[in-house]
Amino acid sequence: MRRYLIEILSVSVSVAVALAGACPTPAVARPAQKALDIYFIDVEGGQATLIATPRGQAVLVDTGNPGTRDAERIMEAIRAAGVKKIDYLLITHYHGDHIGGYLELAKLVPILNYVDHGPSVESRLIDSKKAYDAATLSAPHRIVRPGDRLPVRGIEWTIVSSAGKTLEGSMLGAPGAGEANPYCADFAPKDIREGPENAQSVGSVIRYGRFRAVDLGDLLWNWEGQLACPVNLIGSVDLLLTTHHGLAWSGAPALIFGLSPRVVVMNNGTRKGADVDSFKTLYSSPGLEDLWQLHWSANASTEYNAPGRYIANLETPATTAGVIADPPPPATMGKPAADIGDPNHAPAYWIKVSAQPDGSFTVTNSRNGFSKTYGRRQS
Ligand SMILES: [Zn+2]
C-alpha cells in the first residue's frame, strides 16, 4: 500500500535581531497578530461553521438545513466577521442538515470555490443538492481526497477523510501523530448500516501556527477508528468539533482520547445529537478543559449538559422544567427524537473561537458574552 507522509511546514518565522551597539530606541508596539476566527453557527443540530482566516479569506463548512432560517443565521455570522464572499464552500456530505441551506445562502453571498467528496452515494437528492450540482458546473470545483490541502492563505488546511477513505500516513510533525495509540485496546467496530453518506464525510485538520483544530463532519465510528488505530494519524489538537453532532454512531473514545482536545464544541440541537454515551466519553477524555454546546440538550437533562454559561442556546424555563420533571425517552439509533422547544428561535447564538499562532485561543458565547482564554499548550 502506498504510504505517504504529510509534511508540515512551520509557518512560524523565527527572527533573530542583533542590534549590538545600536542606540536605544523607543519600544514600538508590534501590531497584534491577526486571529483565526471560527464561528460555530446554531443550525439546530446540523452543521455550519464559518472560518475567517488571518489573511482575509473565508471558508464555510456546510450550510445547515433547508429553508431561509439557517441561511440567514449564517449571514449574521458572515456580517459579524466582516466577510464579503465565501472563498471556499466545503460540503462535508450531502445530508439535508449539511447542504440544506445552500439554495437560499447562494442567493445572499458570492461563493467562489466548491469543495466536496464527489458524487453522493445515496439516491435521494434534495433541491439544494441539485442547485449545488448545477453551480459546480460553472464555478471552480474541487473533489478532495485524504492528504490534499486546500490552498487557503495563511493557514494549513489538510483533508483527512473523504469519500469513505482516510489518511494512509500520519501527519508528520504534528504532536503525537505517528505514535501507537494506547486507547485502541478497547476499540471495537460498530455495525452501522444507515446513512452511508455520513461515512463519505470530508474531514479537515486546520492549523494556524501551533493551534490545531479538527472537524470530521458526520464521519462514522469505524472510519474514526481508521484515523486513530493502531496509530494516531492526526495527533493531538486544541479544538474538536464533535463528529456527527455528538451522536453515539460516532465519537469513538480511541479517536477522541488520542486527539486529546483541550476544548470540544458540540454542534447539537435540543434533541439532535448529544447522546449520553458521547458526553461520558468527552468528560473522560484526558486533557479536556471544557465542553461548549450550541444547544442545551434534552437528551442529557441535568446530568450531562455543560454549565449554562458554556451553552449558546437555552430553552424556555417552562420547556426546561418540563424535561427535568418528566425526562423524555433517550434517543435511539435510527429513531428520531420528538421536537422540544422552538427551532426557529431568534436570535440564535453562536460560539466563536479566536486562535493565535502561538496556540492560545479564546472561546466566546455570543448569548451571554462569557469568554475564556486557553493559554498556549505547555507540552
Ligand atoms: Zn449531520
The DSSP-derived string for 172-225 is: ETSTTTTEE-TTGGG-------S-GGGGG--EEEEEETTEEEEE-TT--HHHHH
Residues with Cβ within 5 Å of ion ligand 1? Answer: 97, 218
Cell of 253: 473514545
Residues in the chain, how many?
379
Q: What nine digits make up the cell of 368?
A: 451571554
Contact in structure between 342 and 332 (CB atoms under 8 Å): no
Kindly give the confidence (pLDDT) of every residue in the chain, 379 residues in length, as a single tens digit, with 9 standing for 90 and above. Answer: 444 444 333 333 333 333 333 334 445 555 566 999 999 999 999 999 999 999 999 999 999 999 999 999 999 999 999 999 999 999 999 999 999 999 999 999 999 999 999 999 999 889 999 999 999 999 999 999 999 999 999 999 999 999 999 999 999 889 999 999 999 999 999 998 778 999 999 999 999 999 999 999 999 999 999 999 999 999 999 999 999 999 999 999 999 999 999 999 999 999 899 999 999 999 999 999 999 999 999 888 788 999 999 999 998 888 888 888 887 766 565 555 666 788 899 999 999 999 999 999 999 999 999 999 999 987 6
CA of 44 to the centre of ligand 1 (A): 10
| C-alpha of residue 248 to centroid of ligand 1, in Å | 12
Domains of the chain from N-terminus onward: 33-374 (3.60.15.10)
Residue 199 class from Cβ within 10 Å (0-12 exposed, 13-18 middle, 19+ buried)?
buried
- Helix H or strand E encompassing 77: helix 68-80
The enclosing H or E element of 84 equals none
Distance from Cα 377 to the centre of ligand 1, integer Å: 31
